Structure 1
């Protein structure tokens, strides 16, 4: 059931948007009493007649006392100030009055998030999902495509909960690759820095399909520079408690944000293609990871477009990078077709050779392997990781 707090007469179309099980109350005090009477309630919609300050105070209180409950705020006017204050107070969504489609979507998203939070609260306190960072020091290797399809392969059985984190903060392509509208992004976590919790993290993710969520990169120019590496560490720490796998897509360069992700990762997927520049960059990457004391036991080298007719065999690649190749993903024109359609090829065509290669890698290297020994990385100046 949904609780609707709206002192004035409730429009019929608002009731129909919220569904058949709606309990209307006239003030926030009555909403609290309704929550006390029914502990299974997980959604409160606060109408535009409720004063904003009171609504935010109410939401902040619920965030501490009952974090699984979602609060959706309907306002006559939605601006940056309202959105910022709402995020700080733990409001899940702010919807413009009269936009019933947005309200319906917000309710569905909030119920899904409540399921995540409720499941997390009931989980064993030792639940520790795996963070998998996909990295390539050269652009154009298909890193985002591999990261998304790897996450889709892990979530395919619906046994595991998986989240993709787009850490390419300036030029992230996860959202456009799966045709998601980036309403919520990593930059929305800024007001929660230092006190991020499960409820806050759940409000940031965008659901793609059952068991597979996305935390998208900022879309506003300049937002990337505002995000500190410490916030990325905080986000990943919370997300790994909510999901079985967190797959991190990275930019094609080492940065404090990338190193923060690698510090907390249980596995590094290092991507290359069978061409000299990409392999040279991979060799430098491997040397860098060794220098920083990352365990070799948590890394896998994957060759994308491995069957390209470029005069280099798999043996040639291994000799150049001086490392065993753990995954070979063939090339196919169906891959860009799947990207243009917004559906990962692992989902669109599970029997395709590309899908099978990625699924096999996920099964052999991430699902069936025992937990490797993770050595503490070498301390880096200014990293804030002690």
Structure 2
């Protein structure tokens, strides 16, 4: 454990200044410059250590530089890194088989980033609507939820309700209907003869670890089955162990028609995403209609295969569940004190709405940084807590203790 830093030193400032001068300002990072990391700890260019309570938005579920994942990457780097999909390679089929098995599905379409998986799912759902359901060309509709975050491509922001992500980037892609998250009645009313899919996050991560009401996903699953509509679960942040289950949908016993995976699938080493579904659904695609030069590349497959192997034992899911219970117990006094006026926890993942009397989410994150803890705000006053699943209990206790002191609890 480590108590860190005071004001931003000049050495770090030089790196930050260069980033600000030459990099596009599409992010507002905390003023820290990371040079190395291992497990749940990061070290900056000044040699100061920081406890990671963000995990790169769940991309680092297994921590920084997990030995099994680094070894898998090193072994593959010595053999083959890229073929494109113009040729087969010896790991592609194996990843598809293992990932399909983990998901209880039949087919896999690997891509790179999470939003590529979302875009792929949209295309597949529309093609399914036209080629299987028989809808008139150009009429397919997809129902989504307000407060969603499915990425920042032009299509993804077309059905976002986040003004910051959407404003000044139109014209927008049509074909989407937005209903309130967690409102089953509104979702049922939005289903029509032209609806091909419902696209939802089981937990809305970017919105602040927002949980739907109990029974909501079961109701959505029933409604989509009755309407012959696909249920697409965006598990890019919530999946692969984060919530104490392999998939967040499991908390309600729901199996969607399609999983969208990413972030943790690449082990924090390479970007890997995937659409996982049945042959009936993914089988609508024909050669040449969709693809990616890097999607399913050998290096990505090597890392993702090791991720799948690690998840197959169940140990990381069990650890996330146990540590999540501990996290909730640690955070409850903050809510009881009034320092936090909203608290949501699902596995090792929490969203805290900071009371205005204790500052903004950003100011809390900056004060935490000065104490050697890194977390990040969202939507003004909400702080997200998402440590690597490998974090030690003592480190978790210490990190939340620093948060309590920052909030003066």
Q: State TM-score, norm by structure 1.
A: 0.26
Q: Which has the larger radius of gyration?
A: 1
Q: State TM-score, norm by structure 2.
A: 0.25
